Structure 1
Amino acid sequence: MTDPIRVLVIDDDFRVAGLHRDIAAARPGFTALDPVHSLGAARQAIRSHAPDLLLVDVFLPDGDGVDFVAGAAVDAFLLSAATDAATVHRALRAGALAYLTKPFEPRLLADRLDRYARMRNVLSTDRALGQEQIDRALSIMHGGAEPASVSRSATEQLILDGLGDDEASAAEIADRVGISRATAQRHLSALATRGQVEVRLRYGTTGRPEHRYLAARR
Structure 2
Amino acid sequence: MSAALLQDLRGRLDDLRPVQRRIAEVILADPLAAGTMTIDQLAGAAGCAQSSVVNLARELGLTGYRELRAALVAETARAVGDQGHLAFPLEIDPGDPLSVSVERIAAADARAVRDTVRLLDLEQLARIAARLAAARRILLIGVGASGLAALDLQYKLARLGLSAHALTSAHDALPAVVGLGEQDLLVAISDSGRTIDVLDALELAAAAGAGTLAVTG
Give the structure-2-normalised TM-score. Answer: 0.29
| Greater Rg over alpha carbons, structure | 2
Q: Structure 1 or 2: larger helix share? A: 2
Higher strand share: 1
TM-score (norm 1): 0.29
